[in-house]
Protein backbone atom coordinates (compact mmCIF):
# COMPACT_ATOMS: atom_id res chain seq x y z
CA UNK A 1 0.00 0.00 0.00
CA UNK A 2 1.25 3.47 -0.88
CA UNK A 3 2.73 5.49 1.96
CA UNK A 4 1.02 8.86 2.01
CA UNK A 5 2.94 10.35 4.94
CA UNK A 6 6.47 9.81 6.16
CA UNK A 7 7.66 11.66 9.24
CA UNK A 8 11.28 11.01 10.22
CA UNK A 9 12.85 11.88 13.53
CA UNK A 10 10.82 15.04 14.09
CA UNK A 11 11.97 17.44 16.76
CA UNK A 12 10.31 20.65 17.71
CA UNK A 13 11.73 23.03 20.28
CA UNK A 14 9.83 26.14 21.27
CA UNK A 15 11.92 29.10 22.39
CA UNK A 16 10.13 30.77 25.28
CA UNK A 17 12.26 33.76 26.23
CA UNK A 18 15.68 32.30 26.97
CA UNK A 19 14.24 28.86 27.72
CA UNK A 20 14.05 26.08 25.16
CA UNK A 21 10.99 23.91 25.56
CA UNK A 22 11.13 20.63 23.62
CA UNK A 23 7.69 19.62 22.38
CA UNK A 24 8.67 16.72 20.13
CA UNK A 25 11.72 14.53 20.67
CA UNK A 26 12.36 12.41 17.62
CA UNK A 27 8.96 11.32 16.33
CA UNK A 28 8.85 9.02 13.34
CA UNK A 29 5.61 7.94 11.74
CA UNK A 30 4.52 6.35 8.49
CA UNK A 31 0.91 6.47 7.38
CA UNK A 32 -0.40 4.45 4.47
CA UNK A 33 -2.98 5.69 2.00
CA UNK A 34 -6.49 5.06 3.30
CA UNK A 35 -5.48 4.74 6.94
CA UNK A 36 -7.64 6.13 9.73
CA UNK A 37 -5.14 6.82 12.48
CA UNK A 38 -5.71 8.11 16.01
CA UNK A 39 -3.02 9.87 17.99
CA UNK A 40 -3.68 9.76 21.70
CA UNK A 41 -1.84 10.97 24.72
CA UNK A 42 -2.07 13.27 27.75
CA UNK A 43 -2.26 17.04 27.45
CA UNK A 44 1.08 18.60 26.58
CA UNK A 45 2.53 15.41 25.11
CA UNK A 46 3.02 17.08 21.71
CA UNK A 47 -0.01 15.76 19.77
CA UNK A 48 -1.12 19.15 18.48
CA UNK A 49 2.43 20.18 17.68
CA UNK A 50 2.83 16.99 15.64
CA UNK A 51 -0.44 17.65 13.80
CA UNK A 52 0.60 21.26 13.05
CA UNK A 53 3.94 20.03 11.75
CA UNK A 54 2.29 17.41 9.55
CA UNK A 55 -0.03 20.09 8.21
CA UNK A 56 2.78 22.52 7.45
CA UNK A 57 1.46 25.09 9.90
CA UNK A 58 4.72 24.79 11.86
CA UNK A 59 8.24 23.89 10.80
CA UNK A 60 10.20 21.26 12.73
CA UNK A 61 13.47 22.09 14.44
CA UNK A 62 14.82 18.87 12.98
CA UNK A 63 13.52 15.98 10.93
CA UNK A 64 11.70 15.46 7.66
CA UNK A 65 8.11 15.17 6.54
CA UNK A 66 7.13 13.82 3.14
CA UNK A 67 3.50 13.98 2.08
CA UNK A 68 2.40 12.16 -1.06
CA UNK A 69 5.97 12.27 -2.35
CA UNK A 70 6.64 15.95 -1.61
CA UNK A 71 9.07 17.05 1.07
CA UNK A 72 7.22 19.48 3.30
CA UNK A 73 10.19 20.37 5.45
CA UNK A 74 12.43 21.42 2.56
CA UNK A 75 9.73 23.75 1.23
CA UNK A 76 9.56 27.51 1.67
CA UNK A 77 6.62 29.05 3.53
CA UNK A 78 4.85 29.76 0.24
CA UNK A 79 5.47 26.23 -0.99
CA UNK A 80 4.19 24.75 2.30
CA UNK A 81 1.05 26.87 1.91
CA UNK A 82 0.67 25.53 -1.60
CA UNK A 83 1.09 21.94 -0.42
CA UNK A 84 -1.54 22.56 2.24
CA UNK A 85 -3.86 23.87 -0.45
CA UNK A 86 -3.35 20.83 -2.69
CA UNK A 87 -2.86 17.96 -0.27
CA UNK A 88 -4.20 18.63 3.22
CA UNK A 89 -7.61 19.16 4.78
CA UNK A 90 -8.08 20.30 8.37
CA UNK A 91 -10.86 19.66 10.87
CA UNK A 92 -10.58 21.56 14.14
CA UNK A 93 -12.10 21.13 17.56
CA UNK A 94 -13.77 24.54 17.31
CA UNK A 95 -15.09 23.82 13.79
CA UNK A 96 -13.50 27.04 12.46
CA UNK A 97 -16.12 27.72 9.82
CA UNK A 98 -16.34 31.16 8.29
CA UNK A 99 -19.24 32.71 10.22
CA UNK A 100 -20.30 35.08 7.45
CA UNK A 101 -20.67 32.30 4.88
CA UNK A 102 -23.30 29.61 4.64
CA UNK A 103 -22.32 25.97 4.86
CA UNK A 104 -22.23 25.84 1.07
CA UNK A 105 -20.23 29.07 0.99
CA UNK A 106 -17.64 27.49 3.27
CA UNK A 107 -17.29 24.53 0.95
CA UNK A 108 -17.11 26.69 -2.15
CA UNK A 109 -14.46 28.90 -0.57
CA UNK A 110 -12.32 25.82 0.13
CA UNK A 111 -12.84 24.67 -3.45
CA UNK A 112 -11.98 28.09 -4.77
CA UNK A 113 -8.75 28.25 -2.77
CA UNK A 114 -7.94 24.68 -3.78
CA UNK A 115 -8.47 25.56 -7.43
CA UNK A 116 -6.13 28.56 -7.14
CA UNK A 117 -8.89 31.17 -6.90
CA UNK A 118 -10.55 30.04 -10.10
CA UNK A 119 -13.32 27.68 -11.12
CA UNK A 120 -16.43 26.70 -9.24
CA UNK A 121 -15.30 23.30 -7.96
CA UNK A 122 -16.63 19.82 -8.57
CA UNK A 123 -20.38 20.08 -8.03
CA UNK A 124 -20.86 16.31 -8.21
CA UNK A 125 -18.22 15.66 -5.56
CA UNK A 126 -19.77 18.36 -3.40
CA UNK A 127 -23.22 16.82 -3.65
CA UNK A 128 -21.86 13.36 -2.89
CA UNK A 129 -20.02 14.58 0.21
CA UNK A 130 -23.01 16.53 1.42
CA UNK A 131 -25.29 13.55 0.91
CA UNK A 132 -22.96 11.21 2.79
CA UNK A 133 -22.68 13.68 5.66
CA UNK A 134 -26.47 14.23 5.62
CA UNK A 135 -26.28 17.98 5.57
CA UNK A 136 -27.72 18.75 2.15
CA UNK A 137 -30.73 20.44 3.72
CA UNK A 138 -28.48 22.70 5.80
CA UNK A 139 -26.42 24.05 2.93
CA UNK A 140 -27.93 27.50 3.01
CA UNK A 141 -27.58 27.93 6.75
CA UNK A 142 -24.85 29.95 8.37
CA UNK A 143 -22.76 28.29 11.11
CA UNK A 144 -24.65 30.17 13.82
CA UNK A 145 -27.82 28.47 12.59
CA UNK A 146 -26.36 24.98 12.89
CA UNK A 147 -25.84 22.66 15.87
CA UNK A 148 -22.30 21.75 16.92
CA UNK A 149 -22.57 18.36 15.26
CA UNK A 150 -23.83 19.90 12.04
CA UNK A 151 -21.05 22.48 12.08
CA UNK A 152 -18.45 19.75 12.49
CA UNK A 153 -19.98 17.79 9.62
CA UNK A 154 -19.74 20.92 7.45
CA UNK A 155 -16.10 21.29 8.56
CA UNK A 156 -15.47 17.67 7.59
CA UNK A 157 -17.19 18.20 4.26
CA UNK A 158 -15.00 21.25 3.68
CA UNK A 159 -11.90 19.23 4.49
CA UNK A 160 -12.67 16.34 2.13
CA UNK A 161 -14.46 18.09 -0.72
CA UNK A 162 -11.18 18.95 -2.43
CA UNK A 163 -9.95 15.31 -2.29
CA UNK A 164 -6.87 16.01 -0.14
CA UNK A 165 -4.22 13.33 0.26
CA UNK A 166 -4.51 13.71 4.02
CA UNK A 167 -7.13 14.96 6.48
CA UNK A 168 -5.81 16.15 9.83
CA UNK A 169 -8.40 16.35 12.60
CA UNK A 170 -7.57 18.03 15.89
CA UNK A 171 -9.95 16.80 18.61
CA UNK A 172 -12.94 16.88 16.23
CA UNK A 173 -15.34 15.68 18.92
CA UNK A 174 -13.90 17.77 21.74
CA UNK A 175 -16.74 20.29 21.63
CA UNK A 176 -19.56 17.83 21.00
CA UNK A 177 -21.85 15.85 23.23
CA UNK A 178 -21.68 12.05 23.06
CA UNK A 179 -24.56 11.73 20.59
CA UNK A 180 -23.09 14.23 18.14
CA UNK A 181 -19.61 12.80 18.72
CA UNK A 182 -20.84 9.40 17.62
CA UNK A 183 -22.48 10.86 14.53
CA UNK A 184 -19.37 12.80 13.56
CA UNK A 185 -17.07 9.81 14.16
CA UNK A 186 -19.32 7.67 12.02
CA UNK A 187 -18.99 10.29 9.32
CA UNK A 188 -15.22 10.17 9.59
CA UNK A 189 -15.39 6.40 9.21
CA UNK A 190 -17.73 6.80 6.26
CA UNK A 191 -15.33 9.23 4.55
CA UNK A 192 -12.44 6.87 5.20
CA UNK A 193 -14.35 3.85 3.91
CA UNK A 194 -16.14 5.38 0.93
CA UNK A 195 -13.41 7.66 -0.38
CA UNK A 196 -10.39 5.77 0.98
CA UNK A 197 -9.61 9.07 2.67
CA UNK A 198 -6.47 9.05 4.81
CA UNK A 199 -7.27 10.60 8.18
CA UNK A 200 -5.08 11.37 11.18
CA UNK A 201 -7.12 12.27 14.21
CA UNK A 202 -5.96 13.60 17.55
CA UNK A 203 -8.25 12.63 20.37
CA UNK A 204 -8.45 12.25 24.11
CA UNK A 205 -11.47 10.06 23.76
CA UNK A 206 -10.71 6.30 23.83
CA UNK A 207 -14.09 5.54 22.26
CA UNK A 208 -13.23 7.84 19.38
CA UNK A 209 -9.79 6.30 19.03
CA UNK A 210 -11.35 2.84 19.01
CA UNK A 211 -13.12 3.69 15.78
CA UNK A 212 -9.77 4.19 14.04
CA UNK A 213 -7.79 1.44 12.32
CA UNK A 214 -4.61 2.31 14.17
CA UNK A 215 -3.81 4.11 17.41
CA UNK A 216 -0.54 5.87 18.18
CA UNK A 217 0.17 6.71 21.81
CA UNK A 218 2.34 9.71 22.65
CA UNK A 219 3.97 10.82 25.86
CA UNK A 220 6.50 13.56 26.58
CA UNK A 221 7.00 14.40 22.94
CA UNK A 222 7.60 10.86 21.83
CA UNK A 223 5.66 7.96 20.39
CA UNK A 224 5.74 5.45 23.19
CA UNK A 225 5.19 2.26 21.24
CA UNK A 226 8.31 1.27 19.28
CA UNK A 227 7.77 1.03 15.57
CA UNK A 228 5.38 3.96 15.51
CA UNK A 229 2.23 2.76 17.18
CA UNK A 230 -0.10 -0.02 18.12
CA UNK A 231 -1.71 -1.98 15.38
CA UNK A 232 -5.23 -2.96 16.38
Partner 1 sequence: MESLVTNNIRQRPLRALVSMAGVALGVCLVMLFTGLARGQAHDLQRRSSNLRAEILFTRPGALGLTSSTANLSTKYVAELLKIDGVVQAVPAIRYVFQGNKGFGFEQVEGVDWQPYAEMNGLRIIEGRAPQANDEIVMDETKVRESQRTVGDTMGLFGGQPYKIVGVYAPEAEARVKMSLAAMQDALEAPSKCSYILVKVRDGEDPLAMAQRINTALPGNTIQLTRDVMTNIEKQIPFLGVFLRSLVVLAAIVSAFVVMLAMYTTITERTREIGMLKALGASRGYIVSVIEKEALVISVLGLAAGFVISFGAGFLIHRAAGLSFEYSWTWGLAAVLIGIGGGTVGALYPAMRAANLDPVNALSYE
Q: Rule CB under 8 A: which residues touch partner 1?
A: 52, 55, 57-58, 78, 81-86, 88, 90, 92, 96-102, 104-105, 108-110, 113-114, 117, 120, 158
Nearer of residues 47 and 108 to partner 1, judged by Cβ: 108
Least Cβ distance, residue 232 to partner 1 (angstroms):
29
Alpha-carbon Rg for the chain in angstroms: 17
Do the Cβ atoms of 11 and 24 come closer than 8 Å? yes
Least Cβ distance, residue 84 to partner 1 (angstroms):
4
Nearer of residues 36 and 92 to partner 1, judged by Cβ: 92
Least Cβ distance, residue 43 to partner 1 (angstroms):
15
Structure letter (DSSP) for residue 138? G
DSSP per residue, 70-92: EESTTS-HHHHHHHHHHHEEEE-
Least Cβ distance, residue 58 to partner 1 (angstroms):
6
Nearer of residues 32 and 115 to partner 1, judged by Cβ: 115
What's the CA gap between 224 and 226, in Å, rounded? 6
> Which residues are paired to 8 by β-bridges?
64
190-to-8, 65, 130, 156 alpha-carbon distances in Å: 30, 27, 12, 11
Least Cβ distance, residue 178 to partner 1 (angstroms):
26
Nearer of residues 102 and 181 to partner 1, judged by Cβ: 102
Nearer of residues 12 and 214 to partner 1, judged by Cβ: 12
Least Cβ distance, residue 113 to partner 1 (angstroms):
5
> Which residues are paired to 16 by β-bridges?
19
Nearer of residues 69 and 119 to partner 1, judged by Cβ: 119
Assign 169 to helix, strand or coil.
Answer: strand
With a CB cutoff of 8 Å and minimum separation 6, the contacts of 159 are: 89, 90, 91, 110, 167, 169
Q: What share of the chain is helix, strand, coil (3-state, %, to 5)?
A: 35, 30, 35
Amino acid sequence: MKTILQAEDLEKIYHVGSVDVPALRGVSLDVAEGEFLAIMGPSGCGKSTLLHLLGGLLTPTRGRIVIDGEDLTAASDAKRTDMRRRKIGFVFQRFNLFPTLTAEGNLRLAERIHAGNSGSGDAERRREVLRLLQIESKMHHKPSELSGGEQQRVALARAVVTRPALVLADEPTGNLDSENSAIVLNMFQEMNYRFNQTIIMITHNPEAAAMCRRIVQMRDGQIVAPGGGIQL
